[in-house]
């Protein structure tokens, strides 16, 4: 299965700047009290990765939820260069 003719195209002249954004919604009022982490990573102007998931811990403060989201985003940013090296 899959689509072997589909893919991403990055021209050599395009900027190679990796930019990442993260955010969280504090889940203190929700039933399970877990916050939601969102993040997106761009290579130049092109979106290359995004995530949206419930945090695995229960944050007691909005600041704590934001730190968890930032840490998740940093992990993703550290993973991306390894993937790019694998692709050549």
Note the pLDDT tens digit of each residue in 2-59.
666 767 677 777 777 889 999 998 876 577 888 889 999 998 888 888 899 888 888 8
Number of H helices, E strands in the chain: 1, 3
In a domain, 7, yes or no: no
The values of phi and psi at residue 48, to 5°, are -115, -20
d(CA 88, CA 85): 5
**What's the domain count of the chain?**
1
In a domain, 58, yes or no: yes
In a domain, 3, yes or no: no
For 35, the domain range is 18-87
d(CA 32, CA 16): 40
In a domain, 12, yes or no: no
In a domain, 8, yes or no: no
Structure tokens at 21: 């954004």
In a domain, 13, yes or no: no
In a domain, 44, yes or no: yes
In a domain, 56, yes or no: yes
> pTM value?
0.70
């Amino acid at each position: 299965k899959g689509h072997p003719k589909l893919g991403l195209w990055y021209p050599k002249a395009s900027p190679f700047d990796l930019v990442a954004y993260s955010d969280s919604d504090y889940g203190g009022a929700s039933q399970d009290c877990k916050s939601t982490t969102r993040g997106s990573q761009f290579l130049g102007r092109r979106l290359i990765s995004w995530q949206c998931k419930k945090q695995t811990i229960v944050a007691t403060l909005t600041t704590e939820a934001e730190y968890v989201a930032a840490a998740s985003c940093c992990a993703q940013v550290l993973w991306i260069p390894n993937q790019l090296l694998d692709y050549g």
